[in-house]
Amino acid sequence: MQNLFASARLTIRGVRSARASTHAPHNLAPRLPHAGRPRRFASSSSGSSSSSSSPPPKHVGPSIPHILLASAVIIAVMPKLLERYAKLSGTSPGSSRTSNSIPGKLEPHTHHPLALAASSFYPDAKTTSNHKLLKIALPASVLANSRGGEDDLAQRLRIRSVYIKEPSLVIERAYTPVYDSLPGTASLAMQGATRAEKDSLDLLVKRYPDGELGRFLHRAVPDASIPQLEVRGPVDTWSFERDSAPQLPDRIVMLVGGTGVTPAYQLLTNLFGHPNRPASPYAASPRVEVLYAMPDLDNALLVPQLHALASRNPDKVGVSLFAERLPSTNSTTAALGQLQTQAAKRRSWLPFFGSGSSLDAKLLLGADGASTTIPVFESRITQDHLRRTLAPTPASRTLVLVCGPDGMVTALAGPKSRDGQSQGALSGTLAHLGLKQQDVFKL
């Protein structure tokens, strides 16, 4: 390596010397002969004259062999210099990536590139849909910082997200992982998890017609060897210790819509574990009731998993679905998995007695061998539904978390502030029902 540099320096010096002689000034006065000495002239075929004592100056340009040799040395040396630079800086100068971030890290305030390990349509990988399940490869350092689901209820009462950046437009959006496998996790979902489950971050991403980031993520091609997604996190979307009153709630009611079900699901698995594995929930865990709104059952997310958690923890987990449209017959949909639908029994056919209204479930979702069912209402979440769900019980505290489309959040609890960070005043349906600001949080 040192010999190459020395050769390059000598060659470049030779080129510079030749260039200097080429560009020397030509208008200087000729040297005068000594006084008293006659000048002698010699003629040539070209008519030029010169002194017999010295030949005329010869002006030559850079030597072509010198230029070629210098170029060859530079070409030979440059890859080694670039490789040395990459090792020192932790970046690749020839990469198309414009970020100065370092792959293999995850920090709350700085984006770092992580690899997309897998991508498939959801709920049926073989059928095109507006939802995809992405698996992002987590760096090894994340696992070293995990808490292994320690028995700390306050640490489980939180919902965490990551932010992903769209590189060309420099915009970012928050996504809530299905399971909290992020650094410092205390989630029961990680108890008994496989290495592959701990190594990945599972995200459900919906593609909207005008959503740049969703379309970008749906187009991304999985390649575990190329860090291509700029990610930062974890960021607490909600933390009981940070955002709620000191007293632990006896009950948490989550009003969710669309992909807003993922924060509810993450909280449930934090408290009660993975639906496919046995877990030992904390005895003092509050009861969690999820009211999940959607356009129709085809757009439902994570319903089989929600049913499994409710079946395993009937005293601690309750789930209700609210669909604006329901099929006239018991048709199957991939979103329900192996769950079966049956018509719910009506108490009366007289509308003025309150039955036959949206307050009555139209369908029940269940599974073979399970006594737990999920009621399905053909309605939005209304004030009457909330009044019945939030009916106070003696000496108990209820905490309400709201997550969904902006219109839904505004109707139920009022808009968040303009900066999108602070909560804003409580209004809407929940305010009409008499709930207090400290008992409602908008995700």
Instruction: Give Cβ neighbours of residue 1 (< 8 Å, ≥ 6 apart).
Output: 80
Q: How far apart are CA 406 and CA 296, in angstroms?
A: 19
For residue 372, the tally of other CB atoms under 10 A from its CB is 18
What torsion, rounded to 10 degrees, do the Cα atoms 129, 131, 132, 136 define?
Answer: 170
Phi and psi, residue 398, nearest 5°: -115, 135
Helix H or strand E segment including 387: helix 383-389
234 prior amide bond cis, ω within 30: yes
Residue 206 in marked binding region: yes
Does 204 carry a binding-site annotation?
yes
- Distance, in Å, from the CA atom of 277 to the CA atom of 33, rounded to the nearest integer, reads 107
**Which tokens sit at 135?**
């698996």
DSSP 93: T
Q: Is 398:250 a contact under the CB 8 Å cutoff?
A: yes
Burial class (CB in 10 A: 0-12, 13-18, 19+), 397: middle
Is 127 among the annotated ligand-binding positions?
A: no
Distance CA 419, CA 401 (A): 19
Annotated binding residues for FAD, written as ranges, equal 204, 206, 262
Give the residue numbers of the binding site.
204, 206, 262
